[in-house]
């Protein structure tokens, strides 16, 4: 079921839940039909991908996430 959701769906979900401390596993399951570890893996990948696009100037101005918001979601140390 996860493939039916885009990276933007998971980023939107993460940005919505971020101020509340992140989603509970049952919220992730209800929204995407996946467990929390799959959600975290997918979120990390989506954040890194969008951050790279922002830094390279490849993201369309009609569909862009703020650099500070995406940077906060990129939890992998560089």
One digit per residue, pLDDT tens: the chain, 78 residues? 344 468 888 988 998 898 899 999 999 999 999 999 999 999 999 888 877 877 777 665 545 555 556 666 666 454
Half-sphere exposure of 69 (CA within 13 A, CB side): 15
The number of distinct structural domains making up the chain is: 1
Is 78 a domain residue?
no
pLDDT for position 47: 86
Give CB contacts under 8 A, 24+ apart, made by 66-71. Answer: 69/15, 70/11
Query: In whole angstroms, what is the distance from residue 58 CA to residue 39 CA?
Result: 25
User: Do 13 and 73 form a contact (C-beta atoms < 8 A)?
Assistant: no
pLDDT for position 64: 52
Query: In whole angstroms, what is the distance from residue 53 CA to residue 64 CA?
Result: 10
Residue 59 lies in domain: 2-73
pLDDT for position 2: 40
Is 62 a domain residue?
yes
pLDDT for position 19: 85
């Amino acid at each position: 079921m996860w493939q039916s959701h885009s990276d933007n769906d998971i980023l939107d979900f993460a940005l919505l839940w971020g101020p509340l401390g992140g989603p509970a596993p049952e919220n992730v399951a209800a929204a995407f039909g996946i467990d929390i570890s799959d959600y975290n893996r997918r979120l990390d990948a989506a954040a890194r991908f969008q951050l790279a696009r922002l830094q390279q100037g490849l993201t369309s101005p009609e569909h862009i996430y703020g650099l500070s918001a995406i940077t906060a979601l990129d939890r992998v140390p560089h």
